[in-house]
Structure 1
Amino acid sequence: MARIGEDVSERLDAVPAQLRVLVTRRPKYACRRCSAAVAQAHAPEHVVPGGLPTEALIAQVMVAKFGDHLPFYRQAEIYTRQGITLDRATLGNWVGRACFHLRPIVDHLRESLKGADRVFMDETRAPVLDPGRRKTKTGYFWAIVSDDRGHGGTSPPVVMFHYAPGRGAVHALRFLDGYRGQFVQCDGYEAYDKLTKVDRTEGPWTLVHCWTHARRRFVKRLEKDGSPIAEEALRQIAELYAIEKTVRGAAPDVRLAIRRQLSAPIVAAFRPWLEAQLSRIPKSSKLAEDIRYTLARWPGLTRFLEDGRLELDTNPVENQIRKIALTRKNALFAGHEVGTENWAMLASLIANCKMSDVDPVRYLAETLRALLDGHPKSRIDELMPWNFAPASSLAA
């Protein structure tokens, strides 16, 4: 029979993850004719001296927990299915040692963020085990983000997480110390108000409030009470977002011109409408509370009409802090405060990799190797996620 063609079909298959043993041999040499010292190549530095894991395995463990939200005990179960016995304490020890080596990267990341014109800021709970009381105590992760992509900026987006034992303004002030920008985009949490009274060389911070937080209140009222006032408020806010969608990524002056032409009239009419509705409804109602919340933050909500670099909401930081919440949901709590600080450090590095479209496993593995090999501190910027170029022969 003569071949007249063929049919080709493709199917997606799964190959189980493989663990391998890397063997390092270091021959010893001696001269038979003299008493010279024995010559041998130096042993390479490892994250765990004399230990089992390579940098790639430690990177996989770190990203699995802080990027893919798999607690150590679940990872230990996965390794057991593959015939490798690793308890969660061992995995935690590896991660702690890696964090020691990665600290210069995180410190430089923080310094890079301090030059941003404006930052987004938010906080979320961080339960920490309190052994003496046999229960958990509540700390907080504070997130600071710089993201200029909304107005066509070329600076790389940066996110930094910090751990603090509380939620007070003192922590926000401490984490923002040294920042040279003017604007902080945040929610309506009252602790941020103290930023406007800070004595800085650059002057007090200017707060830019979030339309998403105001919108959520009206969404809740519509869902619970079917309020027509809430429905109309949402319609007007939606008009602002529709305009904003058309200027996403445009230059600041273009954004500002369109906002003043199209958004400003909506905003100008929205406030008196809210005030009129407030006078018609019971002062003790939830809807009245929501309207008062919006009106009390009106200067911050309308600041986007004054500067094209500003955004309508704090979504860039909320999108980042949501990942912390997912890890928290699965891990329940951190074992101690040092572990929580390591959590913040690794979540920062992994989030920056994702924002820069970099594989976090490869980045952490090769960065750890570079640090162990003595990468000079004067060139630490080369190891930032946005400058990462895989050195591995397996690079795509």
Structure 2
Amino acid sequence: MPDQGSHRNRGCLPAHLPRVERIIEPASTLCPCGCGAMTKIGEDVSKRLGVIPAQWRVLVTRRPKYICRHCSGPVVQAHAPEHVVPSGLPTEAAIAHVIVSKFGDHAPFYRQAEIYARQGIRLDRATLGNWSGRACFHLQPIADHMRRRLAMADRLFMDETTAPVLDPGRGQTKKGYFWAIVSDDRGHSGPSPPIVLFRYAPGRSGAFAEQFLDGSCGHFLQCDAYDGYDRLTEVARPQGPWTLVHCWSHLRRRFVKLARNSKSPIAEAAVRHIAQLYTIEAMVRGSSPDIRLAARREHSLPMVAALKPWFEKQLSMISSGSTLAEDIRYALNHWQGLTRFLEDGRLELDTNPVENAIRPVCLTRKNALLHEVGAENWALLASLIEEMNAQIARPKGTCLH
């Protein structure tokens, strides 16, 4: 078993946490023989993790009024500060807490309402939703800035996932889609910070992908083999149409599933071949594009060159209607997109950056239903939560300017 100790906090609790010290002295520091006071020669120190439960508070703001008693001058009073919810209950910190709880910690509004009720605070779901919606108005400039930064990236990742959306009047839900657009250059130590932007659409048509990418200067789009993206290769743009880079991880999953279910030796061999490509990628992750490209041409290129005729040979020996044949045809039909990572050291072997980004959306999807009118707000807030997480994880000096 691998050593898990290095991943725990014991012995290395974060330095930013406040320290509260207590000293436990013996009942007496006088020598029992009557010699007098004993001398301290050392101490044992232990560090344990404590917590103060979240505590709500009432922020009382007073604005005194002043007037001169010697003349008829005007009454002087400071202007009331601006609030996200004018004349409303919540402070900006309270609204931020509600938003992070829902979109970062996947606690829907009805669960939050139950939590707050335990402290005697009665807030219904509609109120919490109204607060979040008002916050979106003020946060929109940040999302617009992220969208402009994404438009400048030469390579983007894109993926979509379903979301149950309320369908008023029918008493049931309908299927909506959240699209994630990601720029992430950490694989080749690029200078740009990672950015995730979510967009909502009522369908999965490639027309929505074209709409969301409108105005982008990028050249490469890393995505899965969903045929809706194919229309992007024909879009007339000053930079030329998009070049699709397909994902080896999606191909590998097919063979992993088949090997697990049917014990197919061909599927198991395919998994081993693809694993060799990932081994090389792990060795050059974080290196410059030139180093990555050189390693791929030296090691990955011969493997990929041998893999295609191997697939074709296996396909000729198995039933054309089998699942294995379907999986092999999937690889051969998308071979050009799968092998583009051999042409540019900035490209990745798979779409893991966007898949990792979209995973929290899937968690929230299990815990909440959306109204189509507020789905764009949902996407905006999810984008900002992901950016906040990325700010915490990324090194100093790589902030989103």
Cα offset for 1:5?
3.9
Match of 2:255 in 1: 218
Cα 1:79–1:358 change in 2 (3 A) is farther
What SS does the corresponding residue of 1:207 show, helix, strand or coil?
A: strand
Match of 1:126 in 2: 163
Q: 2:380 aligns with which of 345, 348, 363?
A: 345
Cα offset for 1:348?
0.3
Aligned residue type for 1:356: Q
Q: Is the 8 A contact 2:150 2:195 kept in 1?
A: yes
Cα 1:358–1:278 change in 2 (3 A) is closer
Q: Which runs of 4+ in 1 moved over 6 A?
A: none
Q: When you count helix as a share of all residues, which structure comes out higher?
A: 1
Q: Are 1:203 and 2:240 an aligned pair?
A: yes
Match of 1:330 in 2: 367
Cα offset for 1:34?
2.7
Cα offset for 1:108?
1.4
Alignment of 1:238-387 (within 5 A): 238-331=275-368, 333-334=369-370, 336-357=371-392, 386-387=400-401
Match of 2:28 in 1: none
Larger relative contact order (CA 8 Å, sep ≥ 6): 1
Q: Are 1:21 and 2:67 an aligned pair?
A: no
Structure 2 CA distance for aligned equivalents of residues 12 and 113 of structure 1: 40
Cα 1:337–1:65 change in 2 (3 A) is same
TM-score of the aligned structures, taking structure 1 as reference length: 0.89
Q: Quick check: which has more Rg, 1 or 2?
A: 2
Structure 2 CA distance for aligned equivalents of residues 296 and 10 of structure 1: 58
Q: Are 1:165 and 2:193 an aligned pair?
A: no
Provide the alpha-carbon RMSD of the alignment: 1.4
Aligned residues: 361
> CA offsets, 1:248-284, max 9 Å, x none?
0111111111100000000000000001001111011
> CA offsets, 1:69-105, max 9 Å, x none?
0011111111111221211111111111111111111
Structure 1 CA distance for aligned equivalents of residues 45 and 293 of structure 2: 54
* Percent identity over paired residues: 68
Bigger mean CA deviation after superposition, 304-313 or 102-111? 102-111
Structure 2 CA distance for aligned equivalents of residues 7 and 350 of structure 1: 41
Alignment of 1:25-174 (within 5 A): 25-174=62-211
Structure 2 CA distance for aligned equivalents of residues 172 and 93 of structure 1: 29
Q: Is the 8 A contact 1:195 1:205 kept in 2?
A: yes
Alignment of 1:2-13 (within 5 A): 2=38, 3-13=40-50
Cα offset for 1:144?
0.4
What SS does the corresponding residue of 1:122 show, helix, strand or coil?
A: strand
Aligned residue type for 1:139: G
Structure 1 CA distance for aligned equivalents of residues 192 and 57 of structure 2: 40
Structure 2 CA distance for aligned equivalents of residues 200 and 66 of structure 1: 35
